[in-house]
Each structure stands twice: as structure tokens, then as C-alpha cells.
Structure 1
Amino acid sequence: MSSLNYLIVGIIPGILCIAAFFLISLITPYTKRSKTALLQERTAYNPNGVENVKFKRLLRETTNGGFEHTSAERYVSIIIPAMNEEERLPIMLEECLAYLTKRAEESDEFTFEIIVVDDGSTDETSKIAFSFSKDLKKGELYVLKLPQNVGKGGAVRYGVLCARGEIILFADADGATKFSDFGKLETALRDLSSDGEYFECDAPALALGSRAHLEKESTAKRSIFRTILMKGFHIVVWIFTVRTVKDTQCGFKMFTRGAAATLFPKMHIERWAFDVELLYLAEKAKMPIAEVAVQWKEVDGSKITPVLSWIQMGRDIFLIWFRYSFRIWEADDLIQY
């Protein structure tokens, strides 16, 4: 076989792969971001129907047509996405509030808000979440009720765009991560965003909860099939998107206000792989990232369907790489820090 034939044999599969990516990209819809949507004013849920509490906005438009973040009004905002979580959410909120109220009692500077984002639930998630606000100070817990399910990533994004905190953390409603590990992420984030004396919430940085240290233990408990899926997922993530983070999927991630205002307006993926896109963008922007080991336990009631969800995540990871590489999605205006 001549060298020309070898060249043709090598080129044809590559062309077919790119053509397949274009086809998948064309038939896979995604939400196009608009200034109107990013700056939309939202109101907090009230079971009595009197929804007169307006959320603050993370972003405001600049004179040149871009965005900047608004001034923080709390030290920390906790975003909890929840879809049909009437059973697991109360346990998580009790642990979360025990930690936050204790910190608030110890320091007047530790002010917090919790935003539970009801992602189109058909049960009593919103009412149960709202009931926790009755024993709190005004503004410490609000419920943002979405009219329809948009996916975990979309719910987190909606909540972040309403956040008032210098620090913004999103945490899963299942309570799988021990909430007291908040302090570990907080310390790591402040170390990344400090001039040696003062914490700078404008400086972009991320602190991520990680279960990578538990991999051997969790592998022993999983089936061989699920272990293969997990290993394959990690390999695909490393090849196509994120290379500096071992555990991209832990639902316990903390951002400075500056980082959140830069990353979340750019986010397109609204379901399970949204974490990967956020971290991909953070790496492109060269934001400092700390991965912090946290305590984690398996909690019954997961919304992930083992095969279908992994296929969907795999497709989305390929699309993140493809669409940014071929400039279908733009990230060139991310500030290089």
C-alpha cells in the first residue's frame, strides 16, 4: 500500500468523526443566552400566593454592553437545586441551618442566605422548603420556584443569578456531603482570593468538594458495570475537557462572586454535565482552583439513571469540546487571570 493510500485511510475516519460531531451538534438543542434572561427580575415563592419579595440580581449591564457583578449584601449564598425532594431536603436543610446559624451566632460578619430552587417539582418540595423560613430571620431562606423542570444545571444557574453573597456555594439537596465541610472549602477559597490580609470576592477563584480520596472504597461497593462507566466517564472528561480536577461531579462547589459572575452567564449545559462545562471555562480563564477532600455518603433516591444519564453526560462532554473548539459557543472574552 502506497503512502498516499495510508494517508487516505487515516484521513477518512477523521472526516467521518468530525461530520458525526457536526450532526450530533445540529440535532442537539441548547438554550441560547440573552441579556434579558440573564437580567430577568424574579420573585420568591410564597405558598399563600403573595409573591412580593424580589430577588437581587448577580449581574448588571455595563455601559459597553457587557456584564459586571453587583455588590454583595451577604457573606455567603447557598444554592440548593431540588426536584421532588420533599423527603431528603428537610434532613439536608436541618444540617445546613445548624451549621450556618451557629456560625452566624459566633460572628456578626457571617451573614447568609439559602436559596432553594424548586426545579419543576410535582410534590411538596416548595412548601416544605418555605416552612423552614418561618424560624429564621428575614432574608435567610427563600424559595425560587421554576414553572417547569430545566435540569440541575439550569436550576443552579437560576439560583446563582439571584445570589447576594461574596461567596456562592451550591450543594445537593440529598445531603450526601457533610455540610460542616463548608469550612474546608471556605478556607481554601479565601487562601486563593486573599492579598495576604483581606478576602477579595471580586477575584475569581473556585473551591471544589472532592470524593477522589474515596474512590477505592466506592469502587469496591459498585458493580463492575458501574465501575467501567465511571472510569470511562473520567477518561472522556480528561481527554476532552477538564484536566486539573479529579472529581468534577461532586455537588458541593464554592465560587467567589467574581468567578460566578464570569462563569454562569457563559454556561449552556443545564443537566448533569453542567459542572464539567463550568470547570472547562474556569480552566480556559486560568482561574485558581482548589480541590478539597470532603466527607460523602451514598443517599438513596438518586435522580441519575445509570445508563441513560451517563450516555447523556458523555454526549454533552463531547459537545462542550466540539462547540467551543469550533466556536459555536464563544469563550474568547473570558478574562485571562
Structure 2
Amino acid sequence: LPPSTTSLTADDFAIFFTDISKTISSQFSTAHTGTQTNNIHCLSTLFFFCPLTEAVSKLLLSSHPTTCSLEPISPTLSPALTHINTSLLTGIFPTSFKQARETPLLKKPTLNTLLVDSYRPVSLLPFIAKTLEQVVFSQVSLFLSQNNHLGINQSSSEGAIQLRRHYCQSLKPIPNHQFSFCWIYLPLLTLNHQILLSALSSLGITGIPLHWFESYLTGRSFRVVWGGEVSKAHQLVTGVPQGSVLGPLLFSIYTTSLGSIIQAHVFSHCYADDTKLYLSFQPDDPMVAAWISGCLADISAWMKEHHLQLNRAKTEFPCLSDFTA
């Protein structure tokens, strides 16, 4: 619920969320060389959607019936199954599924509740749309995993925690070393759709599946719900819906090439818009600053090329531990 003392309106948030994306995107060139197909001929496997039957029913039955007020679960599963399979076979994501309701959530309890930039948008999407996303997510994730298409240091959030714990343990025998993390957050708002489609194509996602993702990304709109009000509709021309099922996976695909750039400098782990850098060093090592500076410079160049802007307010470099003999 919105704070009782705020004078902000639903339209205030809608305009802010739209303008911030436009402002950042305007800094980058709109030119694009088109879908990257240079790697496709090297792929032994291309991705194809598989129509589902029982699997969809299980997803529907296992989900909460009030996921979103836009559309409760229908008591009849057959129409939902038809919608999903039709979408997979035609490569078309229904327009009615692209209309989101966004709820502003306060980023931190300590922030000023009277300022729009203290909030982040969370998309509420129709239930059947999120179920369709879950089906696509499962199939694409399996394809990427079986073909080792994502970097070795990209995984789920749980995997990131396990990897971080393992890496911390591996550093313990090193005497007189300090261990630091660098959290780098990349905003989802300005993700360029053409660059993402190129990345998908280079992984073997072509034809109808690629057309499906293009349909999924384009023609989206949202309205902000706040204080009992609903804003005017606003169009989304960049980014992926925050709170969507496919968002984290698509951003991981979008940033796959970033991994090799970071690995040239330090150890890293990436999950969606959250990238962690790991660095073990002796406190008096004169090269530490150069390593960090060089890595961040290369990341900055990559981000500019991929229409992203570093979220400096959420980027940290804390020293976690002191390992002594």
C-alpha cells in the first residue's frame, strides 16, 4: 500500500518509469547491424518449441489462483492449453498478454517516500501469460543447459550462492590475502531488443522461436496502479518486464559476452542484472587498483556498446575477509 503521507499519483510513476528509460536510451546510438548469424553455422543443434499437454496442466494446477487480478485461473484448462500451444506453433505472443499493471515498491525502507525515484516498478502480468512464459523458460533453459550455451559462471541465484561459498572456502589456505566482492547491478530498463534477438539467434534460437521472442518483446504497454488509481497506458520500447518469468534468463543471455571480458581480469559470477566480481589479493599489492580499474573500464565499454548504464548507486566493492596464516 502507498504511504499515507505521499502526494504521488499513478501518472507520476508512469511518466517517471517511461522517462528514465528514454533518457538512458537516448545516450546510445540507435544503429544496429542486424541479427548476428555468424555463429549459427557452427551450431550442431537449433532450438524448436515443443507443444505441451500434460505439462501445462500441471503448471496450471500447481499455481495460485490469484497470481494477478488481471486474470484469475480459468476452471477449464483446455482453453489455456490451446492458447499456449497456438502461441508456440505460430511464434506469436498474444497482444492481450502484453498489457501489464505495474506496482511501485519502495527500494529501501529508509528512502524518501515522497520521491518517485525511491521506488522500482514490479510488473503484474496475466496469469496465463506468466504460465506461457514458464513453459518457454523451461524449454529454453533445458536447451541452453544441454548445449552449454551459457557461460560457466552464469546460473540461478541459488547457484550463485553455492559458487560464492565454494570460492570463499578455496581461498582460506592462502596466507595474508584479502578477499573482496564487487557487486555490479545493470538496469533492465534499457535492454535493447535487437541486440537481444541477435544474441538469441547466435545461440541457435531462430525461425519461429526467434519470431516468438520478437513478438514477446514488442508492442508492450503498462499502467501503474497506485493509491486506488490507474494511470494512462504507456508503451515499452526497451527492456524486459520486471517481475516476469523470462526476464532474468533473457538478461543472462544478453550479458553472456560480458563474462569473457570480466574473466580476463578477475573471477566473476553473473545472474541476470546482478554481476559479482571476486578478487583475492595481498593488501600491499600495487597492482590491485590497476586490475579493478582495467576491469571496470572494459565493463563500461561493453555496457555502452550494449545500451546499458552502470547503476553506480548499487555498485559496491566491500572487503569481506582477512585470510592470515
> Which of the five TM-score ranges fits, normalised by the shorter chain?
under 0.3
